Structure 1
Amino acid sequence: MLVLEDVHVYYGAIHALKGISLQVNQGEIVTLIGSNGAGKSTSLKTISGLLRPKQGKISFNGEDLSKIPPQKIVAKGISQVPEGRRIFANMTVSENLDMGAYLRKDKSGIKQDVERVFELFPRLKERKSQVAGTLSGGEQQMLAMGRALMSRPQLLLLDEPSMGLAPILVKQIFTIIQEINAQGTTILLVEQNAHMALSIANRAYVLETGKIALGGQAQDLAASEDVRKAYLGG
């Protein structure tokens, strides 16, 4: 479904991604783990079209994405939940969800998807008329995920969904990620909580200073002594 081949990305003179290659197959949860500054968020921004690779190729369902603008990448079926949520703070919950469906014209389908989001996140239904900036951190994360789902993505990119959340909410968010995947959405997850990410993923890649250091089945990486020492605190 998604293939990155030898992708190099620069921020000015800084070589942020140094030839990464990875693959996400339809129906999978794939996670990218690594320390701060390893290039995880840069990878997602490059897939979304917010950054351009200087070298290499990104293809989605066989089509080269490297020169396509971000809004057209969304229309092709890729949606991103950005790090830090980036909800529209002055709009209500319902208005934020409407913004997620901005590129769509099918009113009945949009209505169905709002109901689907409310089934996944009942808390949002209770707060649908509330201004989004007044929601708790966990509720804002739910809203950011719900908004991304409103474009009916084939592939959902999640950037640090557990950041800043209490452990009980982290567990809840990860359960919902599995539910979204079970309903047919493929997921590429960037996450600092490597333990949680590896526990729900099919496959994983370890990023170190802009390079893929390891890749394989998530359970194998979770059992690897090197990965445990570096990322799982043991």
Structure 2
Amino acid sequence: MLVLEDVNVYYGAIHALKGISLEVNQGEIVTLIGSNGAGKSTSLKTISGLLRPKTGRITFKGADLATIAPQSIVAQGISQVPEGRRVFANMTVIENLELGAYLRKDKAGIKDDMKKVYELFPRLLERKSQLAGTLSGGEQQMLAMGRALMSKPQLLLLDEPSMGLAPILVNQIFSIIKEINAIGTTILLVEQNAHMALSIANRAYVLETGKIVLSGDAKELAASEEVRKAYLGG
């Protein structure tokens, strides 16, 4: 579904992604793990069109993404939940969700998807008229995910969904990620909580200083001594 081939990205003189190649197949949950500054978020921003690769190819269902605008990438079926949630604080929950569907014209479909978001996140239904800035961190994460789902993505990019959340909420968010995948959305997940990410993913890539150093079946990587020592605290 998604293929990155030898992608190089720079921030000015800094070489942030060094020849990254990866793929995500339809129906999978694939995770990128690695320490801070490894290039995980940069990878997602490059797929979304927020950053441009200097060299390399990015294709989604065979179409080249490297030169098209971010809103066109959303229209193709890729949506990103950004790190730090980035909800529109002075707008209500329902207004944030409606903004997620801004490229869509199918009113009946939008209404159906709003209902599905409320089924996934009942808390958002309770808070639908509340300003997003007054929600708790966990509720804002739910809202950011719901907003991304309103664009009806085929591929959902999730950037650090567990950041800053209490352990009980982390479990809840990860169980919802599995549910979103089970109803047909492919997921590329960037996550510092490597243990949780590997527990729900099919496959994983390990990034270090802008390079992929390991890849494979998520359960096998979780059992590997190298990954355990570096990312799983043991």
TM-score range, shorter chain: over 0.9
For residue 50 of structure 2, what is the amino acid of its counterpart? L
**Matching residue of 1:26:** 26
Deviation at 1:56, TM superposition (A): 0.2
For residue 162 of structure 1, what is the amino acid of its counterpart? S
Matched, 1:194 2:199: no
Give the number of aligned pairs: 234
**Matching residue of 1:5:** 5
SS at match of 1:38: coil
**Matching residue of 1:59:** 59
SS at match of 2:138: helix
For residue 124 of structure 2, what is the amino acid of its counterpart? L
- Structural RMSD (CA): 0.2
**Matching residue of 1:140:** 140
Matched, 1:104 2:104: yes
**Matching residue of 2:166:** 166
SS at match of 1:42: helix
For residue 121 of structure 2, what is the amino acid of its counterpart? F
**Matching residue of 1:42:** 42
**Matching residue of 2:74:** 74
SS at match of 2:214: strand
SS at match of 2:162: coil
Matched, 1:90 2:90: yes
Deviation at 1:61, TM superposition (A): 0.1
CA distance in 2, matches of 1:133, 1:230: 36
Deviation at 1:140, TM superposition (A): 0.1
Q: Give the fraction of aligned pairs with identical amino acids, expressed as a percent.
A: 85
Deviation at 1:13, TM superposition (A): 0.2
SS at match of 1:74: helix
Q: Which runs of 5+ in 1 are unaligned?
A: none
Give deviations 1:51-73, integer Å, cap 9, x for gaps. 00000000000011000000000
For residue 156 of structure 1, what is the amino acid of its counterpart? L
CA distance in 2, matches of 1:141, 1:188: 16
SS at match of 2:4: strand
CA distance in 1, matches of 2:87, 2:132: 7
CA distance in 1, matches of 2:134, 2:64: 40
Deviation at 1:17, TM superposition (A): 0.1
**Matching residue of 1:233:** 233
Matched, 1:15 2:15: yes
Deviation at 1:178, TM superposition (A): 0.1
CA distance in 2, matches of 1:116, 1:127: 15
Deviation at 1:217, TM superposition (A): 0.2
Deviation at 1:9, TM superposition (A): 0.1
Q: Which runs of 5+ in 2 are unaligned?
A: none
CA distance in 2, matches of 1:50, 1:96: 20
CA distance in 2, matches of 1:129, 1:82: 23
CA distance in 2, matches of 1:147, 1:67: 25
Deviation at 1:183, TM superposition (A): 0.3
**Matching residue of 1:224:** 224
For residue 36 of structure 2, what is the amino acid of its counterpart? N
The structure 1 segments of at least 4 consecutive aligned residues displaced by more than 2 Å after TM superposition are none
**Matching residue of 2:157:** 157
